[in-house]
Amino acid sequence: MKILEDRILQDGTILPGDVLKVDNFLNHQVDPQLMDQLGAEFARRFKNAGVTKVLTVESSGIAPAVMAALHLGVPMIFARKHKSLTLTDHLYTAKVYSYTKQGNNDISIDRRFLSADDNVLIIDDFLANGQAVQGLLDIAESAQIKVAGVGVVIEKRFQKGHQLVKDAGLPLVALASIAKFENGSVTFAQD
Question: pLDDT of 80-120, one tens digit each?
Answer: 986 666 666 789 999 998 776 778 888 999 999 999 999 99
The pLDDT tens digits of the residues spanning 9-48 come to 999 999 998 999 999 999 999 999 999 999 999 999 999 9
CATH number of domain containing 123: 3.40.50.2020
Binding site annotation covers 47?
A: no
Q: Say if 164 falls within a structural domain.
A: yes
Q: Does 81 carry a binding-site annotation?
A: no
Q: With pLDDT > 70 as the criterion, what percentage of the chain qualifies?
A: 96
Looking at residues 56-60, what average pLDDT do you find? Answer: 92
Does residue 101 lie in a domain region?
no
2 is an annotated ligand-binding site residue: no
Does residue 70 form part of some domain?
Answer: yes
- Determine whether the annotation assigns residue 131 to a binding site: yes
100 part of a folded domain: no
Coil, helix or strand at residue 173 = strand
Establish if 91 belongs to a structural domain: no
Instruction: Report the pLDDT value the prediction gives residue 90, as an integer from 0 to 100.
Output: 87
Q: Is 156 annotated as a binding residue?
A: yes
Whether residue 30 is contained in a domain is answered as yes
Q: Is residue 147 in a domain?
A: yes
Q: Tell me, what's the pLDDT at 25?
A: 97
Strands (DSSP E) contained in the chain are 13-15, 19-21, 53-57, 76-79, 91-98, 103-110, 119-127, 146-156, 172-182, 185-188
> Of 142, 78, 86, which Cα lies nearest the Cα of 105?
78
| Averaged pLDDT for residues 127-149 | 96
Report yes or no on 92 lying in a domain. Answer: no
Number of domains in the chain: 1
174 labelled ligand-binding: no
Tell me what the pLDDT averaged over the chain comes to. 94
Cα–Cα distance, 75 to 70 (Å, whole number) = 8
Domain that holds residue 48: 2-78+113-188
153 closest CA partner among 167, 169, 173: 173
pTM assigned to the model = 0.94
